[in-house]
Amino acid sequence: MKSSSTHSSAEIWLLDDDDIVRSTTAQWLRLSNYVVHEFQDAQAVLDKFQIGSPCIIVSDIRMTPIDGLTLMSDCLSKEANLPFILITGHGDVDTAVNALRDGAFDFLEKPFDPNRLLKTVEKALQKRNIQLQHANQSQYLEDLHGLEETIIGQNEQMVRVRHQIHTFATMDTHVIVYGKTGCGKELVAKALHDCSPRHTKPFVAINCAAIPADLFESELFGHEAGAFTSANKQRIGKLEHASGGTLFLDEIESMPLAMQIKLLRVLQENQLERVGSNKTIQIDLRVVAAAKNDLQSLEDFRQDLFFRLNVSQIHLPDLRNRGSDVPLLFEHFCRMAVKERGKEIKPLSPIDLETLTVYGWPGNVRELKNVALRYALEPNTSVAKILAGYQAQDDIDTITPLPLSVKVQEFERSLIEASIRQQKGNIQLVLEQLQLPRRTLNQKMQKYGLNRTDYLD
């Protein structure tokens, strides 16, 4: 039974100059729903292969005039990480083992078990699809411009969010942005401001949950000198400072009821008075309010204020509902981290990609960003390892447990990594310590993205 990557974009290029062997092998692979292209000679493969070709190559070694090892060398010189599987006769096993050191993904000895072929091909396709996905994501990120650079995502819901931002920005109306903690509500509010005619004026952000109730009025309205004991000088409030621009009220559901009444009057009359003053000040204000839950359903939120603000709404999806946006955003944050520090992005292993996909991301994009930064900057780590010891931020209520399959794989990876580190990259000593066949160790190192050169003394 094949895994979910059965319908992957990568294809199998099968090369063997024995027509019967090639056609029989191709038929077996096609019965398992793989896309197979047959080649009779190596030159035909070389003529077709290009960097980024969506394929893995399965090739016999003994062919003329170009043998499988020469073909592998030529292909890997163009793209070093291409999964290349060799088919060997009994006398070629030593040669194939040496080829593993030169970059071969694996080898199969004739006559090979068809199920063994399927498992090897599946792993190679899995690796290739990650490479292709990474290349596509990298190109997508390189081509970003305008609002797409700020509100990143190919998910249908995020495409709709960008469309709403473009539409609402020019309408100059109040907007409510709904979304769980860490979804990027302030990012959306700033984008609304930057895309609007108000972009040259201030964007003022207030977290309503972070302001003590007794300081709320002074924070929003400002005060005159002497208005209260500690008011030593005049202070301009956030509402007045945001005049002409945009006021972002995050977690507006936390605003005290008395302040809701006063804010409603300001929005109705477009004017305010500082604390301790009788002078009326005209203001021109656009409010973008953010909330986790439907404001209309909250008992402690005034309905009249809700209706005043509820001209337009934007709903941000939880990260776990954004599908392929998770690895895309992960790479984006990794690129940000390495760009600032002059490092290279570490490729994701299959288990890393699986972990990104199955994890629930209770902290949403904010949590993903933190994990991506650690992954990009910490050597010899993995996504699963980071999440296994990850401490939630104060605003994350729960941690999504990793599935058992991921935990088991991460434990296996940690054992192999520890052995490689202990033996300082000496693979022969690792084989003896772990009591593994060379081929099995090679496959697991490929799977977990482990490279002996990272552990050399």
**Boundary-marking domain end, from 111, 142, 173:** 142
Q: Does 352 fall in a domain?
A: yes
Give me the mean pLDDT over the 162-167 stretch: 96
Note whether 18 and 161 are same-domain residues: no
**pLDDT at residue 131 above 60?**
yes
Q: Which residue has the higher pLDDT, 377 or 185?
A: 185
Sign of CA dihedral 240, 246, 251, 254: positive
| Total domains, the chain | 4
pLDDT of residue 445: 83
Domain around 36: 4-142
Note whether 339 and 420 are same-domain residues: no
Give me the mean pLDDT over the 40-47 stretch: 95
Give me the mean pLDDT over the 21-48 stretch: 94
pTM over 0.85: no
pLDDT of residue 180: 95
**Boundary-marking domain end, from 78, 112, 142:** 142
Give me the mean pLDDT over the 163-185 stretch: 96
pLDDT of residue 403: 67
Note whether 365 and 381 are same-domain residues: yes
Give me the mean pLDDT over the 96-104 stretch: 84
Give me the mean pLDDT over the 62-67 stretch: 92
- In a 13 Å sphere around the CA of 295, the CA atoms on its Cβ side amount to 27
pLDDT of residue 2: 39
The confidence band for 68, taking pLDDT boundaries of 50, 70 and 90, is: very high
Q: Which residue has the higher pLDDT, 97 or 266?
A: 266
- pLDDT > 70 in the chain, percent: 93
Q: Does 440 fall in a domain?
A: yes
**pLDDT at residue 425 above 90?**
no
Q: Does 241 fall in a domain?
A: yes
The confidence band for 84, taking pLDDT boundaries of 50, 70 and 90, is: very high
Q: What is the CATH number of the domain that holds 37?
A: 3.40.50.2300
pLDDT of residue 159: 94
pLDDT of residue 457: 63
Note whether 398 and 413 are same-domain residues: no
Note whether 393 and 418 are same-domain residues: no
Largest Cα span, the chain: 98
Q: Does 331 fall in a domain?
A: yes
89: left (phi over 0), alpha (psi -120 to 50) or beta: beta
The whole-angstrom separation of Cα 347 and Cα 356 is 13
Note whether 340 and 415 are same-domain residues: no
pLDDT of residue 3: 37
Note whether 289 and 383 are same-domain residues: no
Q: What is the CATH number of the domain that holds 351?
A: 1.10.8.60
The confidence band for 7, taking pLDDT boundaries of 50, 70 and 90, is: very low
- Give whole-number Cα distances, 43 to 19, 20, 55, 206, 289, in Å: 16, 20, 16, 65, 63
pLDDT of residue 441: 87
Note whether 274 and 356 are same-domain residues: no
Q: State the virtual CA torsion across 413, 418, 423, 424 in degrees, nearest 10.
A: 90
Give me the mean pLDDT over the 281-310 stretch: 96
Q: Does 148 fall in a domain?
A: no
Note whether 184 and 83 are same-domain residues: no
Note whether 355 and 229 are same-domain residues: no
Q: Does 14 fall in a domain?
A: yes
Note whether 173 and 291 are same-domain residues: yes
Q: What is the mean pLDDT of the chain?
A: 88
**pLDDT at residue 123 above 70?**
yes
Q: Does 393 fall in a domain?
A: yes
Please tell me the least confidently modeled range out of 21-35, 297-311, 331-345, 407-421. 407-421
**pLDDT at residue 247 above 50?**
yes
Q: What is the CATH number of the domain that holds 299?
A: 3.40.50.300
- Grouping H, G, I as helix, E, B as strand and the rest as coil, residue 106 is strand
The confidence band for 31, taking pLDDT boundaries of 50, 70 and 90, is: very high
**Token pair 């170009």: residue:** 66
Q: Does 147 fall in a domain?
A: no
**Boundary-marking domain end, from 316, 349, 372:** 316
b/e per residue 231-251 (b: at least 16 CB within 10 A):
beeebebbbbbbbebbbbbbb
Note whether 65 and 196 are same-domain residues: no
**pLDDT at residue 241 above 90?**
yes
Give me the mean pLDDT over the 56-63 stretch: 94
Q: Which residue has the higher pLDDT, 381 or 392?
A: 381
The confidence band for 401, taking pLDDT boundaries of 50, 70 and 90, is: low
Q: Which residue has the higher pLDDT, 400 or 117?
A: 117
Contacts 24+ apart (CB under 8 A), 381-387: 382/349, 382/351, 382/352, 382/355, 382/410, 382/413, 382/448, 382/449, 383/348, 383/351, 383/352, 383/355, 383/356, 384/351, 384/352, 384/355, 384/409, 384/410, 384/413, 385/410, 385/413, 385/414, 387/355, 387/359
The whole-angstrom separation of Cα 245 and Cα 204 is 8
- pLDDT > 90 in the chain, percent: 55
The confidence band for 92, taking pLDDT boundaries of 50, 70 and 90, is: confident
